[in-house]
């Protein structure tokens, strides 16, 4: 399939809906909203920006944060509640509120803050590479002092600007995303991944299957605020296990053939043995040992996921 048709640049300004889901993170949501209010545009005409906040707390605890924001800033903010707990339910709700009325959908998480030129750089990359969907780097911000050697285990890393994610990366995340709104007329976040995560991985699998053009925008940076509960070895290893587990679930949701299950089991077994081997030979090399255990946990998650054992990572909310 060819890339979706380019949005017209004539007459009215480009319109972007920034879709945010939140749950019991008032401080994080406040930081994010202030970051969106501070967006600057030096390379593009300023777009019409609509902020959509969907609260996944049935009690509506984020409403007061949104009301204070709209009283302070001259920006449109639409707020609603998604009572059914789970990331894909809230993401679909947010996208559905905006997709018919804007040119682009941007997605960012409530534990992140965008740089001032975040949207500007996403728009530049979208035009330059004629992309249907883009994602960019996420750098860590440690909320409490963290050992220097641990810093390299956080953040997304970076890729060359415009790199094709289908051919060179294979997956992407919704923590920093811009997509043509019409794409969501054909795609939805899979609600089977309500508490496991991976709804973004599964969405990108659909993006690639349908032939849309997905690229990396290396200048569109956001920072992720990390509490102490997520800056330790236990969390790193659990996260690696979770990533392997949900990737296996995504592949099996995409294709339930026995061959797919066998391939994922084989890959998981290889990663498990590889990680154990690295850990064994890493005497005196702390970072290498941690990487080895991460790889082993990734493989273990692939194996358990292939057998239908589900790791529910998002039952716990990390306050930021």
Question: What is the set of domains in the chain, with CATH numbers?
Answer: 15-228 (3.90.550.10), 233-315 (no CATH)
Q: With 0-12 CB in 10 A as exposed, 13-18 as middle and 19+ as buried, what is 204? A: buried
Helices and strands counted in the chain (H then E) = 9, 10
CA dihedral 198, 87, 91, 180 (to 10 degrees): -20
pTM metric for this prediction: 0.89
Q: Note the pLDDT tens digit of each residue in 208-245.
A: 888 899 999 999 999 999 999 999 999 999 999 988 99
Q: What is the mean pLDDT of residues 199-216?
A: 86
Instruction: Say how far apart CA 63 and CA 61 lie, in whole Å.
Output: 6
pLDDT at 172 over 90: no
pLDDT at 4: 52
256 falls in which pLDDT band (50, 70, 90)?
confident
Instruction: Say how far apart CA 104 and CA 179 lie, in whole Å.
Output: 6
pLDDT at 243: 87
247 falls in which pLDDT band (50, 70, 90)?
confident
Q: What is the DSSP letter of 184?
A: G
pLDDT at 190: 86
Using the structure block, give the residue that is written with the tokens 């889901």. Answer: 21
Contact residues for 189 (Cβ-Cβ < 8 A; gap 6+): 87, 88, 91, 92, 95, 199, 200, 202, 203
pLDDT at 7: 46
Query: Sheet holding 112-114: strands in order across?
Result: 112-114, 222-226, 138-142
Between vectors from CA 112 to CA 57 and to CA 44, what angle results, nearest 5°? 120
């Amino acid at each position: 399939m060819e890339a979706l048709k380019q949005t017209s640049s004539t007459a009215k300004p480009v319109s972007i809906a920034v879709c945010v889901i939140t749950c019991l993170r008032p401080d994080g949501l406040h930081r994010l909203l202030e970051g969106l209010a501070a967006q600057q545009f030096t390379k593009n005409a300023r777009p019409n920006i609509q902020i959509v906040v969907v609260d996944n707390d049935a009690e509506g605890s984020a409403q007061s944060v949104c009301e204070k924001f709209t009283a302070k800033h001259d920006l449109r903010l639409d707020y609603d509640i998604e009572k059914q707990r789970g990331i894909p339910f809230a993401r679909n709700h947010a996208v559905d509120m905006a997709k018919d009325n804007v040119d682009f959908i941007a997605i960012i998480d409530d534990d992140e803050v965008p740089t001032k030129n975040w949207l500007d750089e996403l728009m530049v990359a979208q035009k330059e590479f004629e992309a249907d969907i883009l994602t960019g780097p996420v750098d860590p911000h440690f909320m409490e002092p963290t050992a220097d050697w641990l810093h390299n285990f956080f953040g997304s890393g970076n890729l060359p600007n415009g790199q094709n994610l289908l051919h060179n990366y294979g997956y992407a995340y919704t923590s920093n995303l811009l997509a043509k709104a019409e794409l969501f007329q054909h795609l939805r976040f899979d609600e089977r991944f309500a508490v496991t995560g991976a709804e973004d991985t599964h969405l990108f699998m659909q993006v690639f299957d349908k032939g849309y053009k997905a690229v990396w925008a290396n200048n569109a940076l956001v920072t992720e605020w990390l509490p102490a509960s997520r800056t330790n070895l236990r969390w790193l290893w659990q996260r690696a296990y979770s990533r392997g587990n949900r990737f296996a679930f995504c592949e099996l949701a995409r294709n339930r053939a026995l061959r797919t299950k066998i391939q994922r089991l084989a890959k998981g077994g290889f990663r498990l043995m590889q990680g154990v081997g690295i850990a064994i030979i890493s005497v005196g090399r702390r970072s290498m040992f941690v990487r080895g255990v991460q790889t082993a946990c990734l493989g273990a998650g692939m194996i358990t996921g292939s057998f239908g054992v589900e790791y529910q990572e998002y039952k716990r909310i990390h306050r930021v």
